[in-house]
Structure 1
């Protein structure tokens, strides 16, 4: 209850209002507790009509003012308020005319209180829990420092991730600490923010390097490789569907934003800790710097890894060199592409020893040396090659095989195709654009130039317009939309290889032609993720592809295979067996004495299957019934049959065009 209701009130007629300096002071008395409480509280008494109350008021007014001792409130018993409260409750309230206005509660002057004053409640968690806050702060600082060191020491390939790689001393951290310690606050915050963003970008590029090394056997090219993300998105849509692709893209974007933000906050945290005690930070930095210099001078190592690290500087230098080399290579390659050993050779002087033959150039996706020599994959593939070679022999065919070194690895198949057909080393997207925009003679274009062959392309992996068909010298291109397929997709592959070959037979090869046929066929069933896989069916049951619906439903899911190295190897081997089986079965069923088949792999499968140290070699075979066709390449020293020996010759893929043209009667006439 408030002090206003505890105090007796005086009537208007009895109220005495002394001046401020003349306020009567009543010494404390046990006989007048109500008066003491009322006077100490600084409030007017309520109106009271009793004679006793009037008498007390008059006596108080008549007494001279005396100073109140400092311990007045201390000596007043706390129980004094209780009788006043009871008396007030028993009195009838004064009439409206007689009752004075009560002062508002907030206008009451401060009065000493008997209750002890409570301390203010801490508003922040760290104020309420200082010990826990201290440990949390240490933990955040340690994590921030660890994150910064991780970014500075992070390798660019999965094979390089070893425990010892992160116990080194990064010189970049020492130099960065030295700068941040002595900068004023605002420049320090700016420098720390820029350094954090830089480390975030560096981490993203390192992650890209890891992915490119895993799939393509090389690092990320900051100049050329951005265009490949569109192909990656298309691959994800074919393999995972639209919903999965959208989720993956969102996840990547969120990851990049989080990396940039967290790395920036980490550097800011470390910089604040350094600035908090500059003397101690300086001594520590000098000590660690001395340790780095000592390790570098003595060449100290841990598990074969130098303790004194400068990996970030090395990575930046390497990327800068690659950028300069890429820019320089563009101009050099443009000049190289204009030179052509057979550029001005007339059509009647090209391929004279193959006239009248139906020539088929076939690329088998990801058919690499690992399929024949890897211990986990080779048994099934080699058994298939042996069996199919016997079938070819029974059908009157013979084969010779060798090795080519592909210009690409793990993907980017079109780079391998263009290298093989153009005779130029095309190992990046910029070179591909340059050569396909020009008029360099391709192997398939040489057949077109003669005027003696009809040239067609069967491209089941192409799902949109393909202007490169003109560069390759193809009279007709059949992409996935023009092959009449009504069956299901098999992950990325739009249709089984057997169907693509059957469609080729119906659309071109099986028809009566005025000219022999030269065809370029891309088989895609062995494309990653190797699940689900098609199966061979009787040729007369292929139809429009509807027969594959049940096979596709019964197949394995991509996610169950692609992320498991052992399963990926197993299914990859099966896919190569299927593609080789489909192709050789087609030749033995629909081929003739005029058929010449050249088939090869475009590149090795990704590192998860072929291994991190795999070569770029791919097998190549030439199959024909006419013995004179194979006798033309006797000096190549290739292996008889479909399986090349381990020690068979290995040529760069770009050398094959000129060797083939020369072997079959073409006369060089270089372009100027």
Structure 2
């Protein structure tokens, strides 16, 4: 091809491009500049309406920024008085914007507004996490919990509601950050247009702020002069720093194990030949036993169960453990109890799951003297933690043969899970005793509908529960009602305890040793805003020597621990239990 031919083709192509009609997108973009004259014309024709609209937008922008700056991070703080304070950040921001050129001012206002909007989002997340988990939101570790929250809502209220809430929550976050950013830009422009009056106003506001702070003036029990957004930002920065430091420190802690090098023959020699069962009852907390609304029914169940077990030859001792989690995050309580380490966040959980630190269940596997099995009706996906816990086999929600209805979040009633455990594992003849870990889920929130006991010989494949589930209360009727939640929670604990103790009466042997406990307290809406993190723990056995080994613990006889019974951190149980039953410490990692 010659150079002339190439040149002609390029020219023809360029002419064609010029002649081609603009695309729809291009046409819309070309129209945008034409809007300005139209707006100017409208303002000229309707000056009063234009002025009113401008003032309204400015007032709304100021209110939005004020609300974002003063957004409380506790539910109790959500009251009108919290938003009528004088924020130092607004005064400082106004000073900065008044002294910046146009483009840097717009950029600074947009960035600061987006930051303030994001801090307000973090405040709202803190409210939710404190309400449900008894702790603030961790910006480093807690993002993975939102998928669990979506699944919980889907199980409780349906997939459509979960989808709408998810989309709505994302839209709210984006909209809030964008609107606060745009509001800050608008306020910056207004300040500059009225520079003289704005400068005087900022000086007066600064003087008032300093005066209020110096004299400690208050409104509705809180300071009039605040720096709330700055305090939130500082707290988040500290959380990030402490989380990163904790990750490194806990890694070193997890490498140290008092029984890490103990020979198999020196691990739990006093339990040889026993079928040992560790059972967690979901959300079984101290409030169930001591709260005036829930306690009467739960206490009657514990008393009746203690008496029924005694008739069957079983006796129990009970105490209190302080859980590493509250309101949710059951796996943190499970891993704390089993590992003897304080697993209070997701990073610690991941660290210990990847470590060689000996879990209580893996102790039995290490001896080679027990078969080990897990019954996990709440597990609905791959569960790699099986290796850490040393379980030869795990039955998840799909492997227990259940064909009945779900009871909200719980995939099956506890009685059915226990019956399947009996048929598939505990009731089989075997060459070695059995060590089992069982997670009972019927007392998982939202506590509606609650199953009821069925004849043990009538359980079949679970279809017997169809009518029971339909007759029960609906999750939507309970989930937002604090009184109803407390009542149904108490009933769910009664059901779980009854199912477990009836199973033991029916199928327990002279060699059965049952250790059962709660993994955490229920959410604050049920347990109260100032509830402890304590959960009950019981050891039940027929062989009197089993309970004699823990006679020095000071635990209460029976299934109901006394109010004054000893309280240990949950992480202390593993070493005390191993020592009580003859294990000899041989530390590792030091």
Equivalent residue in structure 2 for 1:558, among 475, 489, 492: 475
Q: Give the deviation of 1:464 after TM superposition.
A: 1.4
Distance 2:45 2:561 in 1: 77
- Counterpart of 2:283 in structure 1 is 366
Distance 2:455 2:267 in 1: 39
- Counterpart of 2:392 in structure 1 is 475
Equivalent residue in structure 2 for 1:447, among 344, 364, 371: 364
Q: Give the deviation of 1:338 after TM superposition.
A: 0.8
8 Å CA contact retained: 2:119, 2:232: no
Judge which range, 174-183 or 136-145, deviates more: 136-145
Q: Give the deviation of 1:466 after TM superposition.
A: 1.0
- Counterpart of 2:204 in structure 1 is 287
Q: Give the deviation of 1:481 after TM superposition.
A: 1.2
- Counterpart of 2:303 in structure 1 is 386
2:410 aligned with 1:493, yes or no?
yes
Q: Which residues in structure 2 correspond to 1:17-416 (within 5 Å)?
A: 126-416=43-333
8 Å CA contact retained: 1:239, 1:491: yes
Q: Could you list the per-position Cα deviations for residues 169-194 of structure 1 after superposition, in whole angstroms to 9, with x for gaps in the alignment? A: 11001000111122222222111111
8 Å CA contact retained: 1:122, 1:128: no
Structural RMSD (CA): 1.5
SS of the aligned residue for 1:419 comes to: helix
- Counterpart of 1:621 in structure 2 is 538
8 Å CA contact retained: 2:335, 2:349: yes
8 Å CA contact retained: 1:222, 1:323: yes
Distance 2:501 2:166 in 1: 40
Distance 1:502 1:496 in 2: 10
Q: Give the deviation of 1:261 after TM superposition.
A: 2.2
8 Å CA contact retained: 1:384, 1:581: yes
TM-score (norm 1): 0.80
SS of the aligned residue for 1:604 comes to: coil
Equivalent residue in structure 1 for 2:528, among 601, 611, 614: 611
SS of the aligned residue for 1:225 comes to: coil
Q: Give the deviation of 1:278 after TM superposition.
A: 0.5
SS of the aligned residue for 1:578 comes to: helix
Q: Could you list the per-position Cα deviations for residues 567-611 of structure 1 after superposition, in whole angstroms to 9, with x for gaps in the alignment? A: 111111111111011001111111122111110000011111111
**TM-aligned CA distance change 1:124 to 1:411, over 3 Å:** farther
- Counterpart of 1:539 in structure 2 is 456
Distance 2:44 2:177 in 1: 31
SS of the aligned residue for 1:620 comes to: strand
Q: Give the deviation of 1:625 after TM superposition.
A: 1.2
Q: Give the deviation of 1:269 after TM superposition.
A: 2.3
Distance 2:218 2:385 in 1: 52
Q: Could you list the per-position Cα deviations for residues 489-511 of structure 1 after superposition, in whole angstroms to 9, with x for gaps in the alignment? A: 11111100000000000000111
Q: How many equivalent residue pairs? A: 552
SS of the aligned residue for 1:226 comes to: coil
- Counterpart of 1:435 in structure 2 is 352
**Any gaps of 5 or more consecutive residues in structure 2?**
1-37
Q: Give the deviation of 1:137 after TM superposition.
A: 3.0
SS of the aligned residue for 2:539 comes to: strand
Judge which range, 377-386 or 228-237, deviates more: 228-237
Q: Give the deviation of 1:396 after TM superposition.
A: 1.3
Distance 1:549 1:128 in 2: 69
- Counterpart of 2:504 in structure 1 is 587
Q: Give the deviation of 1:234 after TM superposition.
A: 2.6
SS of the aligned residue for 1:425 comes to: coil
SS of the aligned residue for 1:399 comes to: strand
Identify, as 1 or 2, the structure richer in helix: 2
Q: Which has the higher contact order (CA 8 A, sep 6+)?
A: 2
Q: Give the deviation of 1:454 after TM superposition.
A: 0.9
Q: Could you list the per-position Cα deviations for residues 151-175 of structure 1 after superposition, in whole angstroms to 9, with x for gaps in the alignment? A: 1111111122233322221100100
Q: Give the deviation of 1:355 after TM superposition.
A: 1.2
- Counterpart of 2:488 in structure 1 is 571
2:533 aligned with 1:638, yes or no?
no
Distance 1:505 1:141 in 2: 69
- Counterpart of 2:24 in structure 1 is none
- Counterpart of 1:656 in structure 2 is 573
Q: Could you list the per-position Cα deviations for residues 607-666 of structure 1 after superposition, in whole angstroms to 9, with x for gaps in the alignment? A: 111112111111111111111111111111111111111111110000000000000111
**Any gaps of 5 or more consecutive residues in structure 1?**
1-120
Q: Could you list the per-position Cα deviations for residues 314-343 of structure 1 after superposition, in whole angstroms to 9, with x for gaps in the alignment? A: 111111111111111111111111100000
Q: Could you list the per-position Cα deviations for residues 55-77 of structure 1 after superposition, in whole angstroms to 9, with x for gaps in the alignment? A: xxxxxxxxxxxxxxxxxxxxxxx
Q: Give the deviation of 1:125 after TM superposition.
A: 5.1
Equivalent residue in structure 1 for 2:381, among 450, 458, 464: 464
Distance 1:284 1:627 in 2: 80
SS of the aligned residue for 2:378 comes to: coil
Distance 2:333 2:76 in 1: 26
8 Å CA contact retained: 2:116, 2:229: no
**TM-aligned CA distance change 1:274 to 1:591, over 3 Å:** same
Judge which range, 135-144 or 374-383, deviates more: 135-144
SS of the aligned residue for 2:320 comes to: strand
8 Å CA contact retained: 2:156, 2:476: no
